[in-house]
Structure 1
Amino acid sequence: MNNYKIKLILILCSTILFSCSMIKKSVVKKEDIPQKSSDPLYQEIQKAGSEAAKKNHVPGLAVAVIRNGKIAWIQCIGYADVASGKPVTAQTIFNIGSISKLVSSWGFLQLVEKKLITLDEPINQSLTRWKVPPSPYDISKVNLRRILSHTAGLSVHGYGGSEQGTPLMTLEESLNGKTKRNGESVHLINEPGTKWKYSGGGYTLAQLLLEEKTKESFAGYMKKSVFQPLGLNHTSYEWTEEMKASSATAYDTLGKPIKNRIFTEQAAAGLQTTISDLAHFAELSITTDSKGLNRVLNPETIHLMEQPVIPLSNDGESGLGYRFMNFEGLRTIGHTGENIGWSAGMFLHLPTKSGLVVLSNGSRGDNVWYSVYMSWVKTIKAVQTHHVDN
């Protein structure tokens, strides 16, 4: 057994936990943040999260719990990098997979607010660099509302990305199917507006739309027009050199380190962020506070995004970017995200203004966030029961 494996086993078998303090003091007052000893849920998540991480070869995770529309606390467990022993902190960068779609939808709806496009106009009429190819189905029914709610009838479930350091294909090449993962082009596979069918390809099409309408790169536009105004200063659709220095290392299903993945399809899968930034984004999704939104979107727009779009199916139901989920009998909105070496979940329960955000740096991190979710969901159901009884 080599030295790396020995070190990995020793670290994973330990129960050393690293707690992280809140960064956004302007958002949450220090006296409002429960300490470990004062919140049973903190202790339960600490135990469930560390046990699940060890079992699934996930070195580290970061957890944020939101109560009454505000971050209650952030907890960090384990390692951002095993070899160096670097702990996860509130400033550790994670890729968040398909939660990228939810965040990118804010940029797309900003185009609507700016009247650069409407939700229901045919998208092909706005594109010049690439268009949805001819089809037996009605292409004129492919619009932004349907794309963002996975009801546009488009192909390509997801993307695998490329190893960091390799040349990226263009958006047009990706849309034409020059991806290593499946080689599938973006095209119509169902009549638009008749069925819910998850499509990362649709978000790649929306990414192209944003670039054509703004004459800017997607990542640059999102940074300038969404992230900076919201105060998400450690969030980017690009792996900048500064972010690499603060990034966690990605690990495969066996707990072995792997290179980061980069994506042409940034809107669908390519967002990097911290637990602190994403938890603040979750706060804004719950409270839709005008001051906090800083004119990025109107509160009415976010409320619209959080409403279900017909049709739904047994496979899923979505708003505009926000997915509806029903794990353990609790209906939430948000999204989950899995890329090779990463897994994350964001769950918002609007009736109680509660939320849970979990980021991890392992391919089997879905088992970890689900264990954490199981602890959290009991507290939400208890609140619901209390409200009914009273």
Structure 2
Amino acid sequence: MLHHAHCSRLLLLGLCWLWLFCLAAPGMAREGFLEPEELEITMFRLMDKWQVHGVAVALIDSGEVVWEEGYGWADMDAWLPALPDTVFQAASISKAVSAAVALRLVQDGLLDLDEPVSGYLTRWQLPESEFDPDGVTLRRILSHTAGLSVPGYMGFLPDHPAQTLEDSLTSATDADDRGVAVILPPGEQWVYSGGGYTLMQLMVEEVTGRAFAQVASDLVLNPLKMKRSSFGDDSRLHGHQARSYTADNRDVPQRHFTALAAAGLWATAGDLARFAVALAENAAGEGGQLELRPELVQEIFSPQPGTESDLFFAGSRWGLGLGLLDLPDGQGLLAFHPGTNPPAWHSLLAILPGSTSEGSQTRGFIILTNGEHGGELVHDAMCLWMEAVGVQGITECVGRRP
């Protein structure tokens, strides 16, 4: 069996469960909540089913992060178990956090959502195209409607230096030598573009005069106390980072990225949950440490024109940095972002934002994995969470029992 790293912790976990049970009335479970003990049992079963070595999860209930845990292995060679403070590659969930960075600069007047991006660029410019480059705006970049190329990046092997940002935009060696260009009429349709987020990364550096990773830390990660999160390498994370594995137990070399805004975030599940809570709080006008005006955060949760998509959920649309799905039968809104850094990092951030006069009702689920078939595990675990919180009628979960 792959997942005996937690055997020495089972007694402690059992005591934690006992404590949780003692807080509730006998025989009573919290309605609309995925109980940690059910999650624990199911997670190990799914890890065996899909041959995934390590998983980290966080649960949000009533606007609070109520559970963080790791399961299985963070590093098999070093015999390190996955723990709540284990750091995983968040892959494309990076884009959701990067969008919040960009919106902070919009709030500060350094960027505008609807001005041509060319006006912010001096170090690099979009190449000539048959389509109007002035139609490329920050709003369209964040909602994947700017008509830009380069869906995603593979990253660089440890012994290969990363390209400069300008070289990557011109011809990314970790994206089949493709450069970022306007390949479709801006504003007319949704086409996923990690290249667009790399262009946004350059915009952030141009208007601040600082490295993107540092701006992101100052404006988002540090204010939200995301202490185990960083865009790119950070010495604070050393000793806490998971490794990733193929299904047959082979270690995958740890890749690094020029395209930090698109794919380069390292984070714990709990840190991403704190980010999700902050977004929901700000959108509801409840303040919060993110310090974004509610109307700007509401753009994250508002479908933008021309954003119909079937990425992860059929019939979804996109806000600024997050996918959005109107749940059937008036069950509310699901905001989400999947993540995949091939071959073995797979993840999902999912939020059900909501508030009443009594306070936040936001619920959420974050899962990070380090295995080749982690995408299937993420899908199964997502359906488990959906069922537990009472969401019904999701096409992707019909007939799928974790």
Q: State the TM-score, normalized to the length of structure 2.
A: 0.83
Cα 1:18/1:310, change in 2 over 3 Å: farther
Q: Which moved more, 1:207-216 or 1:63-72?
A: 63-72
Q: How does 1:83-102 map to 2 (within 5 A)?
A: 83-102=77-96
Identify the match of residue 142 of structure 2 among 141, 148, 153.
148
Give the 3 Å change call, closer, same or farther, for CA 332–221 of structure 1 in structure 2: same
How do residues 122-161 of structure 1 correspond to structure 2 at under 5 angstroms? 122-161=116-155
2:177 alignment counterpart? 183
Unaligned regions of 5+ residues in structure 1, if any?
1-9, 22-29, 385-390
Distance 1:334 1:78 in 2: 25
Deviations along 1:170-219, one digit per CA (max 9) or x if unpaired, are 11111112323321111111100000110000000000000000000000
Question: How much does 1:225 deviate?
Answer: 2.1
Equivalent in the alignment of 1:203: 197
Tell me, yes or no, if the aligned pair for 2:281 and 2:288 is still in contact at 8 Å.
Answer: no
CA distance in 2, matches of 1:119, 1:349: 25
Q: Unpaired segments of 5 or more residues in structure 2?
A: 13-18, 312-316, 355-360, 394-402
Matched, 1:344 2:347: yes
Q: Deviations over 1:36-63 (max 9, x none)?
A: x966632332232212212222111111
Query: Is contact 2:337-2:350 (8 Å) kept?
Result: yes
Counterpart of 2:268 in structure 1 is: 274
Question: What is the match of residue 109 of structure 1?
Answer: 103
Structure 1 counterpart of 2:239: 245
Distance in structure 1 (CA, Å) of the matches to 2:142 and 2:266: 20
Q: Which residue of 2 aligns with 1:378?
A: 387
State the superposition RMSD in angstroms.
3.0
Measured in 1, the distance between the counterparts of 2:199 and 2:57 equals: 32
Instruction: Name the aligned partner's letter for residue 11 of structure 1.
Output: L
Match among 30, 45, 48 for residue 42 of structure 2: 48
1:309 corresponds to 2:304: yes
- The whole-number CA distance in structure 2 between the counterparts of 1:234 and 1:381 is 31
Name the residue aligned to 2:335.
333
- Cα-to-partner distance string for 1:249-287 (whole Å, 9 max, x where unaligned): 111243311221100000000000112211111111222
Q: Which amino acid aligns with 1:355?
A: G
**Letter matched to residue 308 of structure 2:** S
* 1:3 aligned partner: none
1:349-364 matches, within 5 Å, as: 349-351=352-354, 353-364=362-373
- Checking the alignment, whether the CA contact within 8 Å between 1:19 and 1:75 is kept in structure 2 is no
1:366 counterpart residue number: 375
Question: CA offsets, 1:85-127, max 9 Å, x none?
Answer: 2111111111110000000011101111011121000001210
Q: Distance in 2 between matches of 1:215 and 1:171?
A: 14
C-alpha deviation, 1:300, in angstroms: 2.7
In the other structure, the counterpart of 1:231 is 225
Runs (4+) off by over 6 Å: 30-35, 289-292, 326-330
Matching residue of 2:319: 319
Residue 355 to residue 105, structure 1, CA distance change in 2 (3 Å): same
| Aligned residue-pair number | 367
Q: 2:188 aligns with which of 194, 204, 210?
A: 194
What secondary structure, in the 3-state scheme, does the structure 2 residue paired with 1:64 have? strand
| 1:255 aligned residue (234, 246, 249) | 249
2:2 alignment counterpart = 11
